Amino acid sequence: MMCRGMSVNLATLLWIAFGAVLPARADEVITTPIRTFGLGRLQDAAYSPDGRHIATCGTGGAFLWDAETTEVLQTFTGHTLSVSSVAFSPDGTKLLTGSDDQTAKLWDAGTGNCLRTFTGHTSVVTSVAFSPDGTKVLTGSNDATARLWSTNGNLPIPGDANGDCRVNILDLIFIRGRLNQAVGTADNWKADVNADGLINVLDLIHVRGKLNTQCP
């Protein structure tokens, strides 16, 4: 029997009436996981949009898991050092990884094939993310920069060598001033618009074919 003046919340009343388990406190520490995933020392993990898969990454590489059975479905091989970050595309068909090898990679989640490699950072790529529409990716690095890339190529915006969101004569001037210089120093990586590891006349030809176009 309830005593006059006693204050009891709804959850307590349900427990008294039906023997229901009281909900956990907001500050309760949970010590028992539902499942455990992991190969090597892990640095990041992500859930697929449909909740069916989990991606993990770390010193052992990057892996795709079945969220229910904990079976490894794919191993993503290509980074030369530890993989520090991972993210799913909005539709769940692609995976993005960042690595201590200073690159980010775009993968086909179903086949494990590498679709793109994004180079230009000069230190560890610590974080990665997709844009809501999946057409661009964002990478953050210990080199104190965050860089936006198109998923269709190695440049933030294909052909826009100087980063002004237009493909025009200024991009040709930008590349011409860096011909035969090393890729990966300062902003020279932008001048390698065809991503062949060289800054040469082929980059000028590539941009010339895109002159007077607006960036997507």
Question: Does 84 share its domain with 133?
Answer: yes
Amino acid at 70: T
In a domain, 71, yes or no: yes
- Sheet of 125-130: strands edge to edge? 125-130, 136-141, 146-150
Question: Does 173 share its domain with 192?
Answer: yes
Final residue in a domain of this structure, among 101, 129, 154: 154
Question: Does 113 share its domain with 165?
Answer: no
**How many folded domains does the chain comprise?**
2
> Residues 184, 122: contact at Cβ < 8 Å?
yes
The DSSP letter of residue 27 is: T
What pLDDT was estimated at residue 189?
73
Question: Does 134 share its domain with 214?
Answer: no
Question: Does 87 share its domain with 186?
Answer: no
Average pLDDT by consecutive 10-residue portion of the chain (216 residues)?
A: 49 45 62 65 91 92 91 92 96 96 92 86 93 90 87 64 78 89 71 80 87 64
Final residue in a domain of this structure, among 134, 154, 174: 154
Give the domain range for residue 213: 157-216
What pLDDT was estimated at residue 74?
94
In a domain, 161, yes or no: yes
Question: Does 139 share its domain with 65?
Answer: yes
Question: Does 124 share its domain with 176?
Answer: no
DSSP 160-211: -TTSSSEESHHHHHHHHTTTTPPTTSTTHHHH-TT-SS--SHHHHHHHHTTT
What pLDDT was estimated at residue 88?
97
Question: Does 140 share its domain with 168?
Answer: no
